[in-house]
Amino acid sequence: MTTCNEAIEQLHEFLDNELDDGNHSTIKQHIEMCHKCCEKFEFEQNLKKIIKNKTFLHKTPQPLLQSIASQLADLEEERSQPEQIVLEPKVRHHTGIFGFFTLRPAFVTMAILLPITITCLAVYLVFLRPTGFSPIVQVAAERHDSFVNDNMRLDLVSSDRNEISRHFKNLQRSNLAINVPECNGRDTKLLGCKDSSFAGKRSAYVGLSGNHNKISLEMVNGSDMNLNKLNHEIFKGKSYHFGKYKGYNVVLWRQGKTLYSMTSTMNRRDLMRVASESIR
Amino acid sequence: MEESAKKEDKIKEFELAALEHIDSLFNVGMRMTRNREEAEDLVQETYLKVHRFSHTFKEGSNLKAWLFKILRNTFINTFRKKIREPKEVHCNEVEDFYLFHKIKSDRASEDYPSGSSTDIYEFLEDEVKNAVDNLPIAFKEVVLYSDIEELSYGEISEIIECPIGTVKSRLFRARRLLQKSLWNYANERGYLKEKQGGRK
């Protein structure tokens, strides 16, 4: 005999048709005999039906059905193309170069970008790298850049060599090298001067124009800046160091205790000629 | 050539058979996503996968369960939802035959005219839907598969990739929770009725 407890324990399995035939009929017999259990079982069964009936009510929208059906038909057509009669999954194994491109986008990207990067780097190193680059060259070039672009305010605007010399002399406290270029002959002309500092040291700045190019001249007294890293060249018996930055040529040399730096877009040779002619 | 034509026919046949279950999939999709558009997307995506993976279907096995499994995986992937058993479910306080007893005692204590009493046939569509929708998703899906799609425990265990014991325990707990929330709805409604009646 099945007890009520035993029957109720198997209620869900009974209603879900999960019991084997033997157990199912045993429970069924009990329910038929036991009014209490029958009531409960019927209740739960009805509830199950109600949940189904009140929840299962969505018909698939017709447009969705049509779109899926036509999509499947399209895919079918694709698959039944002569080459693709094989009914294997549509994981394509491309071979050769196409396989490489479809399967490994990351590699493709690398394969394209890497040579470009290397080429750019090579071009930069061989052709564009500032020869003899050094912080001094950079400072000089940037100073000149602001002069060329009229971003620099000169202390004195004058083309008179003596006036500029006087201006520097008046700055008694300074310990500036005063060797204002002589601008005789040629097309070099003084534009003005400025009390300045160069790479951490006090300096005298003179702006010039020559051959339609502006020239910056910086004079630093007792500078211990190291020029050895820069390439150098002997011109008219004097050793000139040179560098290039942002398209500006910078020529540096020492004369006594003074470091001179001349910057311009003019080529190095012209710059050295102007230097040797105007500074004695 | 004949061979390939045969295979083609077979595939068409298979897809037609799969399409016969579309209403079931759409319904479960609706309950899982609770959103018509998302359900449509889900079903569409599912059928694309059915097409793609038709070769993995073992002939003679249960097509409906297989379809639900694909739907479920698509749902998880698309909505990045995890179907985990909720850590805490307060259904211990809900005894067996919760609703049955509640309704019985409700009727016994009833002093308003018959007809306004609580009857399970009276549950509104929205009430049942909401009760199902608000179940934790791991519970909801077993109710959908079992009560609505009438799949066997074995099939459900295959779909959700859990042992049959887990299916049973989730299903039984889910039904208790469902009964409780149905009662709450009925109660709320009964209360409203009473109030309206009182005003008249």
Q: Please report, for the domain that includes residue B176, its CATH number.
A: 1.10.10.10
**pLDDT at A2 exceeding the cut of 80:** no
Beta bridge partners of A238: A235
Q: How far apart are CA B154 and CA B7, in angstroms?
A: 30
Q: How far apart are CA A164 and CA A181, in angstroms?
A: 10
- Span of A11-15, A211-215, A264-268, B142-146 with lowest mean pLDDT: A211-215
Cβ-defined contact of B47 to A18 (cutoff 8 Å): no
B17 located within any domain: yes
On whether the A135-278 domain is CATH 3.40.1000, my answer is yes
In sequence order, which residues have a C-beta less than 8 Å from that of residue B143 and are 6 or more positions away?
A51, B132, B135, B171, B174, B175, B178
Cβ-defined contact of B19 to A55 (cutoff 8 Å): no
CATH number for the domain including B60? 1.10.1740.10
The predicted model gives A19-38 an average pLDDT of: 90
* Residue A96 distance to chain B (closest CA, Å): 24
Note whether B48 and B108 are same-domain residues: no
Per-residue tokens: B9: 């026919």
A67 touching B (Cβ < 8 Å)? yes
Closest chain A CA to residue B14: A72
Note whether B75 and B103 are same-domain residues: no
Question: A7: pLDDT confidence band, cut at 50, 70 and 90?
Answer: confident
Q: What pLDDT does residue A85 have?
A: 46
Instruction: Single out the residue in B45, B79, B113 at which a domain terminates.
Output: B79
pLDDT, greater one: B79 or A68? A68
Q: B interface mutation test: which of A13, A14, A16 has the most B CBs within 10 A? A: A16
Cβ-defined contact of B52 to A13 (cutoff 8 Å): no
Contacts of A52 in chain B (CB under 8 A): 147-148, 150
* Residue A49 distance to chain B (closest CA, Å): 8
In sequence order, which residues have a C-beta less than 8 Å from that of residue A44 and are 6 or more positions away?
A11, A15, B97, B100
B87 located within any domain: no
Q: What pLDDT does residue A24 have?
A: 92
* Residue B79 distance to chain A (closest CA, Å): 20
Cβ-defined contact of B147 to A72 (cutoff 8 Å): no
Note whether B53 and B103 are same-domain residues: no
Note whether B109 and B189 are same-domain residues: yes
Q: What pLDDT does residue A237 have?
A: 83
Pairing of strands A231-235, A156-157: unpaired
Q: What is the mean pLDDT of chain A?
A: 80
Cβ-defined contact of B44 to A67 (cutoff 8 Å): yes
Q: What pLDDT does residue A226 have?
A: 76
Supply the range of the domain harboring residue B155.
Answer: 98-199
Q: What pLDDT does residue A101 have?
A: 55
Percent above pLDDT 70 for chain A: 84
pLDDT, greater one: A15 or A210? A15
Cβ-defined contact of B26 to A56 (cutoff 8 Å): no
Cβ-defined contact of A72 to B47 (cutoff 8 Å): yes
The count of residues in chain A is: 280
- Span of A28-37, A75-84, B55-64, B109-118 with lowest mean pLDDT: B109-118
Note whether B30 and B110 are same-domain residues: no
Contacts of B52 in chain A (CB under 8 A): 89-90
Q: What pLDDT does residue B113 have?
A: 45
B12 located within any domain: yes
Q: What pLDDT does residue A186 have?
A: 63
Q: What pLDDT does residue B79 have?
A: 74
In sequence order, which residues have a C-beta less than 8 Å from that of residue B92 and are 6 or more positions away?
none
B64 located within any domain: yes
Closest chain A CA to residue B129: A55
Q: What is the pLDDT of residues A180-207, one digit of tens each?
A: 887 765 678 888 888 888 877 788 899 9
Cβ-defined contact of A65 to B22 (cutoff 8 Å): yes
Q: Which of residues 19-58 of A touch B (CB under 8 A)?
A: 39-40, 43-44, 46-48, 50-52, 54-58
Q: What pLDDT does residue B108 have?
A: 62
Cβ-defined contact of B129 to A54 (cutoff 8 Å): yes
How many C-beta atoms lie closer than 10 Å to residue A221's C-beta? 17
* Residue A28 distance to chain B (closest CA, Å): 19
B23 located within any domain: yes
- How many domains does the structure of chain B reveal? 2
Note whether B119 and B184 are same-domain residues: yes
Note whether B20 and B71 are same-domain residues: yes
Per-residue tokens: A19: 């019991």
Q: Are A279 and A181 in contact (CB under 8 A)?
A: yes
* Residue A109 distance to chain B (closest CA, Å): 28
Low-confidence ranges of chain B (pLDDT < 70): 1-4, 80-94, 106-122, 191-200
Instruction: Single out the residue in B52, B79, B106 at which a domain terminates.
Output: B79
* Residue A90 distance to chain B (closest CA, Å): 7
B84 located within any domain: no
Provide the ipTM. 0.80
Instruction: Single out the residue in B49, B79, B109 at which a domain terminates.
Output: B79
Three-class DSSP category at A258: strand
B140 located within any domain: yes
**pLDDT at A174 exceeding the cut of 60:** no
**pLDDT at A39 exceeding the cut of 60:** yes
Cβ-defined contact of B48 to A71 (cutoff 8 Å): yes
**Residue A50 CB burial class (10 angstroms; 0-12, 13-18, ≥19):** middle
**pLDDT at A99 exceeding the cut of 60:** no
Contacts of A47 in chain B (CB under 8 A): 99, 120, 179
For chain A, the domains span: 4-46, 92-128, 135-278
A90 touching B (Cβ < 8 Å)? yes
Q: What pLDDT does residue B163 have?
A: 93
A82 touching B (Cβ < 8 Å)? no
Size of interface A-B (CB pairs under 8 A): 112
The predicted model gives A21-43 an average pLDDT of: 89
Best CA proximity match to A204, nearest among A240, A162, A167, A241: A167
